[in-house]
Amino acid sequence: MKYKAVISDLDGTLLNGEHKISEYTKNVIKNIIGQGVKFIIATGRHHIDALCFKNQLGADSYLVSANGSKVHDNDNKEIISHNISKELTERLLDIKVPSDTVRGVYLGNNWFTEKYISEFEEYHVESGFRAEVIDFEELRGKEISKIFYISNNIKELEELEKIIKSDKEFCEKLDITASLDNCLEVMVKEATKGNAVLEILEKEGILPEEAIAFGDGLNDKEMLQVVGKGIIMGNASDKLKAFLPDYEVIGTSSEDAEAHYLEKIFK
Residues that are catalytic:
9
Assign 117 to helix, strand or coil: coil
The CA distance from 116 to 130, in Å, is 10
Query: Residues for the chain: how many in total?
Result: 267
197-206 CB contacts, 8 Å cutoff, 24+ apart: 197/7, 197/40, 197/42, 197/64, 197/223, 197/226, 197/227, 198/226, 199/71, 199/80, 200/40, 200/62, 200/64, 200/71, 201/5, 204/4, 204/5, 204/38, 206/4, 206/5, 206/38
Answer yes or no: are the C-beta atoms of 25 and 233 closer than 8 Å: no
Pairing of strands 63-65, 38-42: parallel
The amino acid occupying position 84 is I
The CA distance from 225 to 167, in Å, is 27
Helix axes 23-34, 47-57, angle to 10 degrees: 70
The CA distance from 151 to 142, in Å, is 25
Answer yes or no: are the C-beta atoms of 183 and 148 closer than 8 Å: yes
The CA distance from 131 to 129, in Å, is 7
Name the CA dihedral angle for 169, 196, 215, 4, rounded to a multiple of 10 degrees.
160
